[in-house]
């Protein structure tokens, strides 16, 4: 079935780079997504990548996609304390009507 796996916690120091990893199972997913959830709030789309791309860069964010290994990563350069949040990897459901989310990676940034 559809499944998305992520590590649960990541702790970095301010100014370092953060790398959050994700593996997914549905190779037919057209897009893969990264969502961010700040404390007490809903999720917001951070970035996404089309499945025929290997990399996407958006300011401090770099998304890498390895389709062969079904591996997705999110790199945040120059991580700030404001980046502390839960980051969810997601893929399209097979029906394409909703998303399948990973369990989320809690990023803690210390100054």
Partner 1 sequence: NAGVTQTPKFQVLKTGQSMTLQCAQDMNHEYMSWYRQDPGMGLRLIHYSVGAGITDQGEVPNGYNVSRSTTEDFPLRLLSAAPSQTSVYFCASSYGEYPYNEQFFGPGTRLTVL
Nearer to partner 1, 47 or 62 (CB): 47
Nearer to partner 1, 51 or 73 (CB): 51
Give residue 24's Cα distance to chain centre.
11
Distance between CA atoms of residues 63 and 53, nearest Å: 10
- CB 59 to partner 1: min, Å: 18
Partnered with residue 19 across adjacent β-strands are 75
- CB 99 to partner 1: min, Å: 6
- CB 39 to partner 1: min, Å: 11
Nearer to partner 1, 14 or 23 (CB): 23
Residues at the site binding partner 1, with contacts judged by CB under 8 A: 4, 8, 30-31, 33, 35, 41-45, 48, 50, 88, 92-93, 95-104
């Amino acid at each position: 079935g559809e499944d998305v796996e992520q590590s649960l916690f990541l702790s970095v120091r301010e100014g370092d780079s953060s790398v959050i990893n994700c593996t997914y199972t549905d190779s037919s997913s057209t897009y893969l997504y990264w969502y961010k959830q700040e404390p007490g709030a809903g999720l917001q789309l951070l970035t996404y990548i089309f499945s025929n791309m290997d990399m996407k860069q958006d300011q401090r964010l770099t998304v890498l996609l390895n389709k062969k290994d079904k591996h997705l990563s999110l790199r945040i350069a120059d991580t700030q304390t404001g980046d502390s949040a839960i980051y969810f990897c997601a893929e399209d459901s097979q029906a394409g009507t909703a998303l399948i989310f990973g369990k989320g990676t809690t990023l803690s940034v210390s100054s």
